[in-house]
């Protein structure tokens, strides 16, 4: 059988197994999900370095040290960030509008994993998928199949040990474009998480499924005249050399304010920067940039010294980044593209306004909506950049690489960064479990609806067809607790349920009287009334309790359990 046919068949088999697992997993409780994620996090932390070594050996991209840090970031930082998120049951309540939001999993997620950040991306996507009670099937980049499959195996085994159904995490072993297309388009696939090249992301968006894809980065870094020059240069070099620049949010250009240009140039040289002359830039451009204006895979993720050697450029042994002073952006300036290695284009501008325009030009040339940074102590200039730049992550006084993914900033920790409408993406967010949930909304009537009889004339119909809500519903403080309770009782009675009378169990005991009848519904205001009146609340296994009510009642030990079955 041809490899492409084998790949298609494997995709189908994995999806069938994944969907079978999901029909069980979607009913798991929050505690069950958390036990699974904790075990996955522990295993990923324990194997962070071995997986990093395997990734570097297989792909040739980046460094073991930094890939280990990325694995730990996903296994620990991402896990800790998503742990408190409510993704099971009632996740939000608006007692004033009487709307309750209920989390519902999306289903089977097809995840495309790149070769540049293979193991860390797999860890991250598995955690955010299972947090929402989804299952996930990986399609690995062909040049990173072994390390991604090993990551998948470790995560799947740890999840199953913690009680997950077999098949919640799986990975294709025979990746081919035909198999990946089948994975994305199959009827059992509910959503696509695509990280990879522009062509693959476009294929994901055209698969006929909801998809989260990301665009290229080409992030500029502007060093404004009030910046701490030493720290700014340190940050740019740290971001550009982290894993040899393979993260799409790493700095690709430096834009420098003219009054500090000399100081910045000296600081770059002091910290391992090498400024190329015209002949050297031409040699690097010919080797690094393809006719399609894409970086040469043979040089992606390599060190500055190795790139210089391959291009016939002699540099000091301690060189960390190569800098190319350019006069413009676009096809006539090949090194102005996203480079995915420690090569930076370098511009000098007369002031922040010109710097603002230069950054826009760079972003428009392959980085729209992604990321940029500004190094400045001038809050007004920083605000101007925040208001007007076509980037959805503007990192202030920190490396773009670390800041964009939430490693050095307060952004959601993530390895998938949306570029919004500017970049042709559905969202501008850092992708998290919130994006992998459907949310049901349980909405009670708060404004009675009036209607007209069919026999009434058109004039009366036009006057009454769109009744106005009572003023209190629009501008007042909300519905009083007593009125809300009566409305809920009326709602239940209209459907054949008789709302129980609230009784006051003896406050000194936590066991209900033998004939106490449990309440049907408890909200936060019920708990607060019980606290004020010094009484307990009788609940049963079918009582609906909102999350806020449960937290408050358990804190004050107000719940007692009915002794007789419903």
Residues 6+ apart with CB under 8 A from 217: 247, 248, 249, 250, 252, 338, 366, 367, 370, 371
Q: How is residue 423 annotated by DSSP?
A: G
Domains of the chain (ranges; CATH) run 3-214+433-439 (3.40.605.10), 219-410 (3.40.309.10), 479-561 (no CATH)
Tell me which residue of 387, 341, 333, 383 sits closest to 361, measured CA to CA: 333
Q: How is residue 430 annotated by DSSP?
A: B
- Euclidean distance between CA atoms 308 and 212, whole angstroms: 36
Q: In the prediction, which pLDDT does 516 show?
A: 64
- Euclidean distance between CA atoms 372 and 393, whole angstroms: 6
Q: Strand 437-443 vs strand 99-105: parallel, antiparallel, or unpaired?
A: antiparallel
- Euclidean distance between CA atoms 541 and 561, whole angstroms: 8
Residues 6+ apart with CB under 8 A from 214: 194, 195, 201, 248, 370, 416, 417, 418, 419, 423, 425
CA distances (Å), 65 to each of 50, 52, 79, 243, 531, in order? 11, 8, 21, 8, 55
Q: In the prediction, which pLDDT does 322 show?
A: 98
Residues 6+ apart with CB under 8 A from 374: 221, 222, 224, 381, 382, 385, 394, 395, 396, 397
In tens, the pLDDT along 190-201 reads 999 998 777 778
Q: In the prediction, which pLDDT does 114 show?
A: 93
CA distances (Å), 191 to each of 17, 18, 213, 423, 443, in order? 16, 13, 11, 19, 27
Residues 6+ apart with CB under 8 A from 489: 499
184, 204 in Cβ contact below 8 A?
Answer: yes
Catalytic residues: 248
Q: What is the CA radius of gyration of the chain?
A: 29
CA distances (Å), 376 to each of 19, 227, 251, 296, 446, in order? 51, 4, 16, 34, 50
Tell me which residue of 435, 437, 467, 436 sits closest to 451, measured CA to CA: 467
Q: In the prediction, which pLDDT does 91 show?
A: 92
**What are the residue ranges in the chain where pLDDT is below 70?**
1, 452-516, 563-566
Q: Strand 89-94 vs strand 99-105: parallel, antiparallel, or unpaired?
A: antiparallel
Tokens 């073991």 belong to which residue?
Answer: 64
User: Cα–chain-centroid distance for residue 440?
Assistant: 21
CA distances (Å), 471 to each of 95, 359, 447, 450, 465, in order? 18, 50, 10, 15, 18
Query: What phi, psi does 38 have (nearest 5°)?
Result: -60, -45
Query: Other CB atoms closer than 10 Å to residue 156's CB: what's the count?
Result: 21
- Euclidean distance between CA atoms 469 and 473, whole angstroms: 6
SS3 230: helix
Residue count of the chain, please give it: 566
Q: In the prediction, which pLDDT does 515 show?
A: 43
Q: Tokens in use for 251? A: 């700095």
Dihedral angle at the C-alpha atoms of 479, 480, 482, 487, nearest 10 degrees?
A: -10
SS3 432: coil
Q: In the prediction, which pLDDT does 182 show?
A: 96
344, 254 in Cβ contact below 8 A?
Answer: yes
Tell me which residue of 481, 369, 491, 501 sits closest to 426, measured CA to CA: 369
pTM greater than the 0.85 cutoff: no
Q: In the prediction, which pLDDT does 521 show?
A: 79
- Euclidean distance between CA atoms 51 and 47, whole angstroms: 6
Q: In the prediction, which pLDDT does 497 show?
A: 53
């Amino acid at each position: 059988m041809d490899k492409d046919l084998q790949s298609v068949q494997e995709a189908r088999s994995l999806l069938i197994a994944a969907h079978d697992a999901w029909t069980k997993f979607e009913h798991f409780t929050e505690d069950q999900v958390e036990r699974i994620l904790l075990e996955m996090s522990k295993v990923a932390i324990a194997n962070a370095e071995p997986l990093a070594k395997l990734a570097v050996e297989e792909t040739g991209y980046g460094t073991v040290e930094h890939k280990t840090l990325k694995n730990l970031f996903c296994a620990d930082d991402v896990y800790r960030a998503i742990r408190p998120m409510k993704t099971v049951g009632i996740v939000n309540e608006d007692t004033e509008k009487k709307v309750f939001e209920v989390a519902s999993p999306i289903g089977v997620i097809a995840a495309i994993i790149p070769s540049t950040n293979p193991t860390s991306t797999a860890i991250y996507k598995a955690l955010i998928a299972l947090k929402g009670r989804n299952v996930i099937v990986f399609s690995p980049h062909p040049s990173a199949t072994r390390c991604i499959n090993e990551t998948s195996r470790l995560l799947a085994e740890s999840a199953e040990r913690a009680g997950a159904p077999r098949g919640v995490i799986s990975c294709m072993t025979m990746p081919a474009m035909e198999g990946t297309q089948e994975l994305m388009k199959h009827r059992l696939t509910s959503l696509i998480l695509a990280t990879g090249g522009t062509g693959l992301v476009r294929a994901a968006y055209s698969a006929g499924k909801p998809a989260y894809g990301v665009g290229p980065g080409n992030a500029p870094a502007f060093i404004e005249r009030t910046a701490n020059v030493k720290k700014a240069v340190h940050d740019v070099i740290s971001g550009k050399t982290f894993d040899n620049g393979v993260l799409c949010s790493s700095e690709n250009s430096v834009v420098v304010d003219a009054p500090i240009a000399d100081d910045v140039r000296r600081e770059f040289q002091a910290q391992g920067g090498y400024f190329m002359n015209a002949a050297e830039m031409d040699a690097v451009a010919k080797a690094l940039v393809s006719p399609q204006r894409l970086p040469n895979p043979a040089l992606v993720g390599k060190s500055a010294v190795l790139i210089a050697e391959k291009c016939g450029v002699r540099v000091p042994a301690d060189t960390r980044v190569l800098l190319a002073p350019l006069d413009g952006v676009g096809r006539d300036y090949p090194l102005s593209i996203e480079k995915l290695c420690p090569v930076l284009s370098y511009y000098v501008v007369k002031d922040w306004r010109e710097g603002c325009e230069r950054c826009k030009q760079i972003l428009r040339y392959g980085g729209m909506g992604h990321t940029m940074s500004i190094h400045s102590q001038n809050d007004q200039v920083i605000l101007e950049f925040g208001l007007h730049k076509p980037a959805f992550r503007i990192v202030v006084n920190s490396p773009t690489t670390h800041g964009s993914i939430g490693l050095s900033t307060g952004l959601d920790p993530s390895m998938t960064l949306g570029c919004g409408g500017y970049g042709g993406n559905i969202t501008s967010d850092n992708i998290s479990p919130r994006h992998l949930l459907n949310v049901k909304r349980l909405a009670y009537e708060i404004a009675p609806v009036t209607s007209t009889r069919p026999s009434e004339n058109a004039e009366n119909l036009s006057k009454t067809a769109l009744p106005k809500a009572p003023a209190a519903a629009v501008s007042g403080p909300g519905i009083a607790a007593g009125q809300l309770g009566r409305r809920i009782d009326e709602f239940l009675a209209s459907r054949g349920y008789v709302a129980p009378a609230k009784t006051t169990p003896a406050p000194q005991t936590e066991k209900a009287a033998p004939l106490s009848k449990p309440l049907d519904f408890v909200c936060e205001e019920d708990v607060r009334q019980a606290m004020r009146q010094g009484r307990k609340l009788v609940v049963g296994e079918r009582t609906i309790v909102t999350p806020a009510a449960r937290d408050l009642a358990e804190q004050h030990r107000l719940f007692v359990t009915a002794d007789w079955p419903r």
